[in-house]
């Protein structure tokens, strides 16, 4: 009996997208090394032009300062979320669920409000301290931020339940779970990235540069010398590229840290959300120490000692992580793409794929840099300024004024 008119469970077979690998190409070219690829020079020039445009754009944004870098991170987050949301969408189901995409973005912006509200609350308060009305408004928003975000999430949860349609339950619940996984992946790394930015632009630009240097090194060493496959998940990766890039990255880490560490604009932490020029007393790790050269070397050179920034020793550990561990973020992404039979997550950046393709290793690196910085770089002593920050962030304007008046009264009594 013909069952053409009977209801069917929605199919989860994907439409072929522009970035999907056709099965016949995947079988024939999946194991071709980069050194043997006949299109490698064309691919190299496309990647080079795109890389130059990205480098120029990021350099301008870094020059503009912390707030603009944060805005860049938010834009990248939106592109990444869009690419990942589209990965499991089905055109036929989405036409019958016209408002379902809005629900994904509702959860996305709710998560953004929660994450950045927690990370940048003190910077926001410091920005509006001079205006009494804005200070009270911002203080109340920060105080009730968790409640606001919770009820925004509950509103999305209720919206999801009310939007459930018969025959689409499996698809809708799959999208609900996929959305939450995306939020964890995107906001975990971006939260640590933004925290690094406000600790000093150095802690953003330096590790990001190490990942880029390692990626470029692996590409060129594999391009010219790659003969031994490294891992099946990413067939064009070779041991020659991996080892060559590791050595180059370690050398670059030590020298590049010295270059960046000399610029106060890059090393000063930002305590507010203004765009004004920064001046600060450099952290001790950015103050040079002079190491005397051995006698045999110093006799043949015009100088007897060389300057080294303490941060350069930390840079070696970051370079080691960027060379050995961070590439596994890329291998994870390669395995993920193979599971979904796609070449790239998107096509926003010619020669590179999508934004998610460029951020796979950066995700792993950003978390490590934050943990390393808090564990091995930040001083453990509790200064007066640090204690006051912890106290004042929980007080209103009138309570702060009362505290200052009381402290002034105590100091006056002790002088007498």
Per-residue pLDDT tens digits for 258-314: 999 999 989 999 988 988 888 888 899 999 999 888 877 767 777 788 899 999 999
pLDDT at position 150, please? Answer: 97
CA atoms within 13 A on the CB side of 274: 12
> pLDDT per residue over 350-379, tens digit each?
877 889 988 889 989 999 999 999 999 987
> pLDDT per residue over 248-263, tens digit each?
999 999 999 999 999 9
* pLDDT mean over 94-121: 89
Q: Specify the residue for token string 């106290």.
A: 391
Q: Which two tokens stand for residue 83?
A: 């690419």
> pLDDT per residue over 20-32, tens digit each?
554 444 444 445 5
3-state secondary structure of 33: coil
Quick one: which of 173, 191, 171, 176 has its CA closest to 111?
A: 191
pLDDT at position 2, please? Answer: 46
Q: Which residues contact 352 (CB under 8 A, 6 or more apart)?
A: 47, 50, 51, 344, 358
Q: Specify the residue for token string 């193979």.
A: 338
Q: In the chain, pLDDT over 90 holds for what percent of residues? A: 46
Q: For 65, left (φ over 0), alpha (ψ -120 to 50), or beta?
A: left
Rounded (10°) CA dihedral 405, 406, 407, 410: 120
Query: Which residue stretches of 65-90 are H helix?
Result: 66-87
Q: Under a CB-based contact definition with an 8 Å cutoff, are residues 85 and 182 in contact? A: yes
Q: Report whether pLDDT(385) > 90.
A: no
Helix (H) or strand (E) holding 231: strand 229-231
Q: If pLDDT is split at 50, 70 and 90, which confidence band does 14 have? A: very low
CA atoms within 13 A on the CB side of 207: 30
> pLDDT per residue over 144-172, tens digit each?
999 999 999 999 999 999 999 888 899 89
């Amino acid at each position: 009996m013909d069952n053409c008119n009977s209801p069917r469970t929605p199919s989860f077979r994907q439409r072929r997208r522009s970035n999907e690998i056709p099965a016949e190409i995947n079988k024939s070219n999946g194991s071709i090394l980069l050194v043997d690829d006949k299109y490698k020079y064309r691919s190299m020039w496309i990647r080079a032009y795109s890389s130059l445009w990205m480098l120029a754009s990021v350099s301008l944004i870094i020059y503009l300062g912390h707030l603009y870098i944060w805005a860049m991170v938010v834009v990248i987050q939106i592109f990444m979320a869009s690419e990942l949301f589209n990965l499991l969408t089905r055109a036929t189901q989405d036409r019958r669920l016209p408002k379902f995409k809005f629900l994904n973005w509702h959860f996305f912006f709710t998560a953004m409000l929660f994450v950045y509200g927690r990370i940048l609350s003190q910077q926001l308060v410091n920005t509006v301290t001079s205006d009494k009305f804005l200070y009270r408004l911002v203080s109340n928003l920060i105080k009730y931020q968790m409640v606001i975000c919770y009820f925004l999430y509950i509103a999305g949860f209720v919206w999801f339940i009310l939007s459930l349609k018969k025959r689409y339950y499996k698809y809708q619940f799959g999208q609900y779970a996929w959305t939450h996984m995306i939020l964890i992946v995107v906001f975990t790394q971006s939260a640590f990235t933004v925290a690094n930015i406000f600790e000093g632009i150095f802690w953003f630009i330096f590790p990001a540069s190490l990942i880029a240097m390692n990626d470029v090194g692996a590409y060129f060493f594999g391009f010219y010398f790659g003969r031994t496959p490294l891992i099946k998940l990413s067939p064009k990766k070779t041991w020659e590229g991996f080892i060559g890039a590791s050595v180059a990255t370690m050398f670059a880490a030590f020298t590049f840290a010295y270059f960046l560490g000399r610029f106060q604009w890059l090393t000063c932490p930002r305590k507010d959300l203004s765009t004004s020029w920064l001046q600060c007393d450099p952290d001790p790790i950015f103050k040079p120490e002079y190491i005397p050269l051995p006698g045999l070397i110093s006799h043949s050179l015009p100088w007897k000692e060389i300057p080294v920034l303490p941060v350069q020793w930390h840079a070696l550990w970051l370079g080691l992580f960027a060379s050995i561990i961070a590439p596994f973020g890329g291998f994870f992404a390669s395995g993920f793409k193979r599971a979904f039979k796609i070449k790239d997550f998107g096509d926003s950046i010619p020669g590179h794929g999508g934004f998610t393709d460029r951020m796979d290793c950066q995700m792993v690196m950003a978390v490590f840099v934050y943990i390393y910085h808090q564990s091995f770089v930040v001083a453990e002593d509790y200064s007066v300024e640090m204690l006051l920050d912890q106290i004042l962030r929980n007080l209103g304007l009138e309570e702060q004024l009362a505290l200052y008046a009381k402290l002034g009264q105590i100091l006056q009594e002790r002088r007498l």
